């Protein structure tokens, strides 16, 4: 008898999704669908808007990563209008993007991912959440909250609001950082770096504890998509990079994104299926997000993070890592990089320099592409402007969307492991930290 398994909704997900799994009467996996059930048509209703207002609309795509959705369309309009921004604005944006990366990665690890590992996969669903983690491990909980709080407050300081920022404008930034505020954040850096290291230690302990799972469940060779600047890990600026399953790296300038990124409309998900165009669909399905970013990087931008990347590659034994459960590990390496970048930029006098906006900005007809790396993956805006700077049309390829096909491919792989190979039966699982 054919059996359908439905998970509705998929929880601890930043959006609305369900999972449908079909098993044949012989127990084999027939079909896996990752159904993303919502979309809001931002690409349509930005038409007719002032191009410079798009960055005030699109952050509403995501309450967790509104900052990349503020900065990326700004970059796209600057590309369309051929506007250069002053160096202080570039650094302020880098700082803002990294502040978001820091709070988002801390939130992801502690609030979205950690409950699975700290309580174990068989815990009562009623307890498997961040509230319970905070109750049971108050020290770790307090540290996690202070990390998120630091990142969010820094976002609010530079962006005006931590959620849905407003300070970037075509041509630069509306305002430099206040010196007093800068000093206040600088004072906290030492603690934050310590806590980041501590978080990596917790993460490594989890990886060790669950090594059998990490090394054996969901090891799926795919393509990867990310961004690097001259090969170095960068989340604000750079070229699109594709990594093939066997580790070949291919770079594309943002303007040439259509040569690399194909969008397949599947019948069962509003979030579409992205893939590497030259490899075709579905062969070219890629994954995005933290592990993909690390697979793309020749090296990290900062010393502690680069050391951690080297350690990870040494432990797994390859440069390209296909281990799905290593995404959390990769996220913590990015977390360390973000706090190192923040520490450096907070000491840079440019961030308090009032020369943060190009004053003579003129709209022009044309199209522009902006790319950044959001905490959940590559983020791309292609915006068409008319002569008056009114948006004619837009194409948005958003972060999680880049990962949907890759997630579904991974789910199929894992479903086969679970239902056909009974791979879970012999797995070594640790005693949960929280019982």
Partner 1 sequence: MLPALDIVYWPAVVDFKEDSLKARPDGDVLVGFVEGSLRTNKDLEQAKLMREKCQLIIAFGSCSCYGNVHGLANQWDIQEAIDRKFTQAESITNESPKEPTVHMPGFTSKIVPLDEVIKVDAYIAGCPPKPEQIISAVQFLLGQKPQPMADAPFCSECVLRDSGCVLEKGVLCFGPITSAGCSLKCTSDGKPCVGCFGPSKAVDARVGKLTDMVKNADSLSSGDKKNLYEFLALFLNVPLMAGFDLAGDILKQVKKKGTPQTPLANLPSETEQVASTIMSYLRDHRDFTEISTVCDTCPRIIGSKSTMTRVKRDYEGLPNMEDCFIEQGYLCAGPITRAGCGGLCIRVNAPCSGCYGQTEWNVNQAERFAEVATKGFNVALSKEELLSQMKDKLGFSEKFTLAANKNYR
CA distance 274 to 265: 9
Cβ proximity to partner 1, 16 vs 315, nearer residue: 16
Cβ proximity to partner 1, 24 vs 280, nearer residue: 280
Cβ proximity to partner 1, 302 vs 375, nearer residue: 375
We find the least distance from the C-beta atom of residue 272 to partner 1, in angstroms, to be 8
CA distance 96 to 91: 9
We find the least distance from the C-beta atom of residue 310 to partner 1, in angstroms, to be 35
H-helix segments, 297-400: 303-316, 327-346
Cβ proximity to partner 1, 49 vs 313, nearer residue: 49
Phi, psi of 245 (to 5 degrees): -55, -30
We find the least distance from the C-beta atom of residue 365 to partner 1, in angstroms, to be 15
Cβ proximity to partner 1, 244 vs 382, nearer residue: 382
We find the least distance from the C-beta atom of residue 170 to partner 1, in angstroms, to be 4
Angle at 335 between CA 332 and CA 336, to 5 degrees: 95
Cβ proximity to partner 1, 277 vs 315, nearer residue: 277
CA distance 119 to 126: 11
We find the least distance from the C-beta atom of residue 420 to partner 1, in angstroms, to be 23
Place of tokens 């300070």: 167
Helix 327-346 to helix 87-107 angle (10° resolution) is: 140
State the DSSP string of 334-398.
HHHHHHHHHHHHHT-GGGG-S--B-S-----SEEEEEEEEETTEEEEEEEEE-TTSBEEEEEEE-
We find the least distance from the C-beta atom of residue 403 to partner 1, in angstroms, to be 15
């Amino acid at each position: 008898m054919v059996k359908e398994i439905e998970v509705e909704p998929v929880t601890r997900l930043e959006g609305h999704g369900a999972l449908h799994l079909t098993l044949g009467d012989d127990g084999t996996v027939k079909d896996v669908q990752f159904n993303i059930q919502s979309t809001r048509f931002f690409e349509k209703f930005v038409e007719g808007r002032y191009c410079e207002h798009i960055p005030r609309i699109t952050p509403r795509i995501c309450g967790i990563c509104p900052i990349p959705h503020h900065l990326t369309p700004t970059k796209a309009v600057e590309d369309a209008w051929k506007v250069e921004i002053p160096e202080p604005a570039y650094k302020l944006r880098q700082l803002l993007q990294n502040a978001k990366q820091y709070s988002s990665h801390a939130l992801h690890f502690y609030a979205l991912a950690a409950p699975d590992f700290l309580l174990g996969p068989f815990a009562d669903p009623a307890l498997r959440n961040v509230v319970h983690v905070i109750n049971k491990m108050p020290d770790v909980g307090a540290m996690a909250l202070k990390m998120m709080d630091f990142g969010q407050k820094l976002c609010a300081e530079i962006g005006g609001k931590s959620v849905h920022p407003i300070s970037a404008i075509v041509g630069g930034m509306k305002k430099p950082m206040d010196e007093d505020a800068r000093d206040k954040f600088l004072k906290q850096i030492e603690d934050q770096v310590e806590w980041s290291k501590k978080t990596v230690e917790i993460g490594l302990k989890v990886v060790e504890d669950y090594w059998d799972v990490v090394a054996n469940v969901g090891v799926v060779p795919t393509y990867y998509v990310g961004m690097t600047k001259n090969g170095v890990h960068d989340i604000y600026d750079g070229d699109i990079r594709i990594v093939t399953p066997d580790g070949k790296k291919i770079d594309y300038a943002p303007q040439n994104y259509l040569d690399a990124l194909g969008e397949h409309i599947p019948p069962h998900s509003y979030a579409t299926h992205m893939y590497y165009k030259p490899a075709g669909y579905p062969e070219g399905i890629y994954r995005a997000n933290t592990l993909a970013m690390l697979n793309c990087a020749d090296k990290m931008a900062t010393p502690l993070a680069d050391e951690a990347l080297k350690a990870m590659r040494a432990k797994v034994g390859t440069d390209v890592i296909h281990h799905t459960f290593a995404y959390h590990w990769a996220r913590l390496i990015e977390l360390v990089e973000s706090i190192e970048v923040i520490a450096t930029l907070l000491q840079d006098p440019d961030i308090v320099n009032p020369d943060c906006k190009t004053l003579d900005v003129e709209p022009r007809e044309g199209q522009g592409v902006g790319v950044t790396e959001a905490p959940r993956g590559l983020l791309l805006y292609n915006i068409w402007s008319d002569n008056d700077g009114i948006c004619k049309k837009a194409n948005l390829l958003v972060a999680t969307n880049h990962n949907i096909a890759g997630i579904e491919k991974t789910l199929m792989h894992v479903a086969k492991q679970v239902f056909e190979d009974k791979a879970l039966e012999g797995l070594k699982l640790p005693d949960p930290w929280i019982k």
